[in-house]
Amino acid sequence: MLIVPERLIAELVSPADAFAAIEACFAAMARGEAYNFPVVREALGEGRQYGFKSGLDRAGSRLGVKAGGYFPANLARGIINHQSSVFLFDPETGRPLAMVGGNLLTALRTAAASAISIDRLARKDARVLGMVGAGHQAGFQLRAAARVRKFKRVVAWNLHPEMLPKLGAIAAELGLPFEPVSLAELGTHADVIITITSSDKASLMDAHVKPGTHLACMGTDTVGKQEVEPALLARATMFTDEVAQAISIGEAQHAVMAGLISAADIAPLGDVLIGRHPGRTSDTEITVFDGTGVGLQDLAVAGVAVLRAKERGLGITVDV
């Protein structure tokens, strides 16, 4: 079994690698060649969450699990709050193949999913990016979005405004003017909005968002989290990574519970990738990608890390 430690991931997997791997993963899901197993997520107390996301990708010959969670006291210890590791197994024999550090991979695969949705669903003439959230994932989201559209500026809102300068520094690195704004201003200006917060109630309201906007709602990945008003989802054309997750742990859980939409109103983004769904059909349509984060995404980027590590003779081989 190969161990690919966290410290090697940055040199092994690029945002472009993650984008290609997640596109292939969503397409395999749409073709029925790959499927996710039910998510296990447990509260450990003191705000700690732990869980397992797993699946089988026959097309990519990948079987595995990401074990990880959220540990709010970590920042005080000098490590990030989200901690995870990915384990890959041989789908034919069940033998362990690899253990891969999952922290950077999670950020890369989450940002790639959002960027794929922007690439496929946002208006081609989108010029203003709106960021709701400024935590650990937000910078990865911003960088990935900037790869797929020629944005001219970034407008941003965060519940904790003191976190915005760090995101502003990333925008500056990308050569993009950055302006902290109210949510109403953000919705007025933004052609694409990414929400990436750990909020438990809606911040972005239906009235904030103008026709033609694409939203990548990426923060809600657990029962009880919420970033946008359910009425906005009812007005939008809805896409997701996996419908079963969207209606149970994604942003759509609230609109479904309120009876505003049902599973049948949500299409997998993979359907757009394989040409089964037309995606956006007008410049005034609002499109929403409800990105809940599926296990197959983790296996896909971990697979890239293992491949690259083997090519370059990196990582640690152990007997198990």
Q: If phi over 0 gives left and psi between -120 and 50 gives alpha, with beta otherwise, what is residue 175? A: left
> Which residues 123-162 are close enough to bind ligand NAD by CB under 6 A?
133-138, 158-160
Binding to ligand NAD (CB under 6 A) within 157-196 occurs at: 158-160, 163, 196
Nearer to ligand NAD, 221 or 229 (CB): 221
Label residues 182-199 b or e (16+ Cβ within 10 Å = b): ebeebbebbbbbbbbbbb
Catalytic residue among 66, 150, 166, 310: 66
Residue nearest to ligand NAD (CB): 135
Minimal distance, residue 100 CB to ligand NAD, in Å: 16
Respond yes or no: is residue 66 known to be catalytic: yes
Is 84 among the residues that bind ligand NAD (CB under 6 A)? no
CA atoms within 13 A on the CB side of 67: 4
- Work out the angle between the directed axes of helices 136-146 and 164-173 (0-180°, nearest 10): 30
| Residues 230-249 within binding reach of ligand NAD (CB under 6 A) | none
Which of residues 85, 203, 213, 287 is near ligand NAD by CB under 6 A? 203
**Least spacing, CB of residue 42 vs ligand NAD, in Å:** 15
- Residue of the chain from 155, 292, 300, 315 that contacts ligand NAD (CB under 6 A): 292
Q: SS3 for 143?
A: helix
| Beta bridge mates, 217 | 195, 290
- Is the CA virtual torsion 273, 275, 276, 280 positive or negative? positive
Residue 293 engages ligand NAD in binding (rule: CB under 6 A): yes
The radius of gyration of the chain from alpha carbons, rounded to an integer in Å, stands at 19
Q: Is 120 in the site for ligand NAD (CB under 6 A)?
A: no
Q: Which amino acid is at 178?
A: F
Q: Please identify which residue in 53, 62, 66, 82 interacts with ligand NAD, judged by CB under 6 A.
A: 82
- What is the size of the binding site for ligand NAD (CB under 6 A)? 27
- Nearest alpha-carbon partner for 66 in 37, 44, 46, 43: 37
What residues line the site for ligand NAD (CB under 6 A)? 81-82, 106, 110, 133-138, 158-160, 163, 196-200, 203, 218-219, 221, 225, 291-293
Residues with a catalytic annotation lie at 66
